[in-house]
Amino acid sequence: MTPPAAEYLALVREILEHDRRYYVEHAATISDFEYDQLYRRLRELEAAHPELVVAHSPTRRVGFEPLSAFVKVERAVPMLSLDNTYSAEELTAFHERVLRGLEGETPAYVVEPKIDGISIELTYARGELMLGATRGDGRTGEDVTLNLRTIRALPPLLAEPVDVVVRGEVYMDRSALVTINAAREAEGEEPFKNPRNATGGSLKLLDSSVVAKRPLKVSLYEVVGDSFNASHWAALAWLRKLGLPTPPGVERCADLAGVLGLVETWQDKRRTLPFDIDGLVVKVDSYAQRRTLGATAKAPRWAIAYKYQPERAETVILDVEHSVGRTGTVTPVAWLSPVELSGTTVKRAGLHNYEDLARKQLRIGDRVIIEKAGEIIPQIVSVVAHADAPVIGPPDGCPSCGHALVREEGEVALRCPNSLSCPAQIVMSIQFFCHRGAMNIENVGYKLVLQLCEKGLIKDVADLFALEVGQLAELDRMGEKSAENVVKAIDKARQSATLSRLLTALGIRHVGGVAAQAIARRYRSLAAMLSESEGGDAEKMHATLDDVPGVGEVIAAAVAEFFADARNRTLLGKLQARGVDPVEPEEAPRTGPLAGVTICVTGKLSRPRGDLERDIVAAGGTFHKSVTKTTQYLVAGADTGDTKLASARKHGTKVIDEAGLGQLLAGQPLE
């Protein structure tokens, strides 16, 4: 019989290879069913033998507990910027500078599409991904290893056990942005402006389990150092051999004429790609020639970026609509005279917020220039001619309910605070309540919720659980069978509801799925939360939540205030009366040498904090992002701040060094 360790490691490598074939080569060699069987066996082995779990396991791509902050990363070789050019003449001038620098020696060039994403640097040691960092200021970036590990196309283990540092770009397809923004708008959140904005926002999330749900991609285009290959063209081939994804459509040109030809070819070809590129990168191929050319303080002399100008069109503002989101945010949207732009007909453009609208001094009837930000989202760039009309401003009150709008301190957005009576917010909040990530009520979408509200059949989320087949069957496009399916879906949600799902579905400000799970683990039942906040007293619940790992001051205050509000308590009581009174299932007990142990890590250590966190969790421990009264150990590295040491003294937390953590992980008593 194969030993569990051998079977486990072989299975890890097999699944990673299937991931590479599927996500990098787009050529799966097994069926989804076969893959699922392998993955299920891997999970079984990890559950039975937690001591075997390795950091590069495919199961680790779902993310980890939230971090408190990103660790700064100093790099020995800075990530320089590229000089830009926008014309064939400027590209020719670059070529002539290269010729002069090489004293007449002829260079060959490698031309790559310049993916519009977020630059990263990856460090592999003995073939295993150890560190992933953002560009930052070039010299200092941030450790986002946990977030990068969630990207399916990025192998945590290379095909060869080499030490190598590579650089590249994390990005997102345009279609993925559309899906993400639709979900954000449904939840009352501001949509991302473009795929790059969405990618950057994803990498900056402290909770990698949320990042894992974002369809990020990665492309690696540069090896730091030239000890492995003699040329860039050979280096790219080597990266592919290691299993790393490289840019599509890369070509090698023997002369400037070939480069200029590719510039013309990509002018139209770039729009056929599913992701954004804002130009091409032209690089001298030979590493020896690169060393001769060198670099300035800001950019290499052997590479340049050719940028394409975004397409623009002229049109007229016909009207401005003020839409109300789930959280009450009021957002202006311009309706335009239809115009063709980048292959599509554009009829509307987002105006972001009222400060942006005021800066542009927009009026109904203005003739404006629009472009697609990131080739996907139309935006107004400038005004050609103002109309003889008043400047567009925010509405006098909420467009849905007329309530006075407010702007909270530190925020740009205007909000309608009338959340429980505003028709638009009620519809959006009920739709969100039914969402897959919330109560997961199938067959209940926006159009059905709108109908139900307009006909007075429901006034809040609790009314969903009193709907009958006969009522639903009389609605437009809803027959007897469809009505039965809706009622069954609602009843299924009532029976399978957990406290964490309900807390997420209620749409409490600042409370996402991860925070909801942490709160649910603490209270276990809705009844317990209502009991602690009885009488409208928010202080006790606030104090309790302050000690829950993963719940900060802002979230604690928001939840405590929600449960103290008499109107919300009435709604929750109504839900209980209709059979929605969920509890949170007990977690399987953690096993390992750190089972039941809570640890916080701070200061400069020999390994990235994310790696230590993974080791602690894999050993059955609980990782705290800050020191609380339940934290048993504080692992203090160099340059530990006074704040956490003071908290450790206050709570009686034992302070240990990294060697002490190593003893705990090994199941050895501290000396």
Q: Which residues are catalytic?
A: 114
Tokens of 130: 């150890």
d(CA 363, CA 360): 9
- CA dist 217 and 24 (Å) reads 9
For residue 164, the one-letter residue type is V
Q: What is the dihedral of CA 464, 465, 466, 470, to 10 degrees?
A: 70
Beta bridge partners, 406, equal 415
Report in angstroms the alpha-carbon separations of 662 from 49, 51, 57, 640, 667.
20, 14, 21, 18, 9
Contacts of 251 by beta carbon, 8 Å cutoff, 6+ apart: 110, 111, 258, 262
- Enter the tokens of residue 647: 């908290």
Instruction: Enumerate the H helices of 49-83 as residue ranges.
Output: none
* 164 φ, ψ (degrees, to nearest 5): -155, 145
**Cα–Cα separations (whole angstroms), residue 103 to 99, 106, 165, 302, 442:** 6, 9, 31, 14, 70
Q: Please name the residues in contact with 366: beta carbons below 8 A apart, sequence gap of 6 or more.
A: 316, 317, 383, 384, 385, 386, 387
CA angle 472, 475, 476 (to 5 degrees): 145
Q: Any idea what the Cα angle at residue 218 is, between residues 216 and 221, rounded to 5°?
A: 165
- Single out the residue of 633, 671, 624 nearest to residue 652, CA to CA: 633
Residue 25: count of CB within 10 angstroms of its CB: 13
Helices (DSSP H) in 299-456: which residue ranges?
A: 354-360, 423-434, 446-454
C-alpha of 286 from chain center: 37
Q: Across the beta sheet with 216-223, what order do the strands follow?
A: 128-134, 118-125, 164-172, 216-223
Residue 519 backbone phi and psi in degrees, to 5: -65, -40
* 580-598 core/surface letters (b: 16 or more CB in 10 A; e: else): bbbebeeeeebebbbeebb
Task: Tell me how crowded residue 561 is: count the other CB atoms within 10 A of its CB.
Answer: 17
Q: How far is CA 267 from the centre of its chain?
A: 30
DSSP state of 286: B
Give the separation between CA 452 and CA 361, rounded to whole angstroms.
40
Q: Which candidate, 607, 638, 634, places its Cα nearest to that of 623? A: 634
User: What gap in Å lies between CA 600 and CA 612, rounded to an integer?
Assistant: 10
- Count CB-CB contacts under 10 A for residue 384: 11
User: Could you give the dihedral angle defined by the CA atoms of residues 29, 30, 31 and 33, in that order, rounded to the nearest 10 degrees?
Assistant: -160
Helix (H) or strand (E) holding 140: strand 140-142
